[in-house]
Amino acid sequence: MIYIDQEKINNLLSDAAKFDSRLLDRILDKARKLNRLTLSEGAALLMVTDPEYIQKIFAAANFVKDAIYGRRVVLFAPLYVSSFCVNGCLYCAFRSDNPVTKRRRLSMDEIRQQTQWLLKRGHKRMLILGGEEAGDVDYYTQAVGVIYDTHVGAHTIKRVNVNCAPLKVDEYRKLKNSGIGTYQLFQETYHEPTYRLMHPAGPKSDPDDRIDAIDRAYEAGIDDIGMGVLYGLYDYKFETLGLLSHVEHLEGRFGVGPHTISVPRIEPAGGTGFKVPHPVSDDEFRKVVAVLRLAVPYTGMILSTREAADLRDELCGFGISQISAESRTSPGGYSSSDNNADTNVQFCIGDQRSLEEVIGALIGQGYIPSFCAACYRKERTGEAFMNLAKPGLIKHKCSFNALVTLKEYLDDFASAGVRKAGYDLIIKERASLGAVAQSELSVFFEAIDKGARDSYV
């Protein structure tokens, strides 16, 4: 697999097997200074099994996440637009030969209706995705336009991210010109024998084309890229170093790493009969999240509703900075009352809470729920974003805009209990701002009280 040296990764893990507290202390000191870790340093942290030292890793990850992004946690909703697929991925309910899945592709009117449902709940950020189909870039660009054009009163979707099949450079340019935010593409597994075993049919069976697609997206001018591993297909330590190897390649060639990294674990998928070959325990998963936060401090880290509610709440303290909420994993799923009952779902949902319940839980932990999309609108993307994120300068804009979007949500959508808790949090966080920022925030809040929406710095 191009860009990935499997022998090197195995050797790094073997060399890091011996516990050396002095070396690990130096690595954590380096991470706390917001410096990227090397592959060998990441390997050393991944190999730690001592419970006391793992707690030190968790504490360092919490420090780094707060230093870069503050207490804000960005919220979004996925919109599955199609369950048709040309691939044969063994672990996925959408795979082409699965007779259980009822195939559906949303029309533009249905996409508008689903968007309206999400807007009425308070969502402002969306990720559109589905099964991989040949030649579907025009469908996605049209869907992006429909979503941005959909209004519910004063409310609109601020940012549409897209997860779709690998494209050609000219197709990526077309996708970028439609106004997308981040383009996501997950390699799934960086272990080539496992990749070929898990993807026996369809275009996705070529691991080199898939990994090279990220380069093509950068070449087309898309500078906000989302990457990820599907944990459970192979050893989690190897997969994490494979992902970090890919990050190093992108930084070396394009000078910019990924905007986001996602960390999904395999969940049951109807009709596949798939058994997870390398299960990742909750404790191992916590370590993965923390090590990735330390290794790539500037990158947003995404956690989906695959995970249980209590674990999701906990992992916001280990480095997660973005979470989905109130998700459905089937096309048209926001018209269904049961996240897991539809035979069209790609996988089962672990966190069944509503958006308001997730927001209430975040507020209860002292996090600022955020629907901000300011960087995208202000062209703080790619290198411009990294120049602010790497030294921790983006934190102040993130926190300010998070408070603005939280007030908008509280005023327009929240129940009385969540509204009170949210306002108490705003008062507390506002007091921590400097005098100039407090004054500017007052101007924004007064405008919101008068009906203004979607303001940002």
Domains of the chain: 67-387 (3.20.20.70), 392-449 (no CATH)
Tokens of 456: 């940002």
Looking at residue 136, its pLDDT comes to 82
Looking at residue 142, its pLDDT comes to 96
Burial letters 58-80, b for 16+ CB under 10 A, else e: bebbbbbbeebbbbbbbbbbbbb
Tokens of 41: 């340093």
Local structure of 294: helix, strand or coil: helix
Looking at residue 134, its pLDDT comes to 63
Tens place of pLDDT per residue across the chain (457 aa): 788 999 999 999 999 988 888 999 999 999 999 999 999 999 999 999 999 999 999 999 999 999 998 999 999 999 999 999 999 999 999 999 998 888 999 999 999 999 999 999 999 999 999 998 865 899 999 999 999 999 999 899 999 999 999 999 999 999 999 999 999 999 999 999 999 999 999 999 999 999 999 999 999 999 899 999 999 999 999 999 999 999 999 999 999 999 999 999 998 788 888 999 999 999 999 999 999 999 999 999 999 999 999 999 999 999 999 999 999 999 999 986 556 556 678 888 899 999 999 999 999 999 999 998 777 677 777 677 777 777 767 777 888 889 999 999 999 999 999 999 999 999 999 998 888 889 999 999 999 999 988 888 7
Looking at residue 399, its pLDDT comes to 87
Q: What is the pTM of this model?
A: 0.94
Local structure of 204: helix, strand or coil: helix
Residue 265 DSSP symbol: B
Looking at residue 342, its pLDDT comes to 60
What is the torsional sign of CA 338, 340, 346, 349?
positive
Looking at residue 287, its pLDDT comes to 98
Looking at residue 343, its pLDDT comes to 61
Helix axes of 416-431 and 394-412: crossing angle, nearest 10 degrees: 150
Looking at residue 359, its pLDDT comes to 98
Q: How many residues does the chain have?
A: 457
CA dihedral 130, 136, 142, 147 (to 10 degrees): 10
Looking at residue 336, its pLDDT comes to 66
Looking at residue 267, its pLDDT comes to 85
Pairing of strands 151-152, 260-262: unpaired
Looking at residue 249, its pLDDT comes to 96
Looking at residue 268, its pLDDT comes to 79
Looking at residue 375, its pLDDT comes to 72
What is the torsional sign of CA 306, 184, 367, 406?
negative
Pairing of strands 159-163, 155-156: unpaired
Looking at residue 233, its pLDDT comes to 97
Cβ(324)–Cβ(359) below 8 Å = no
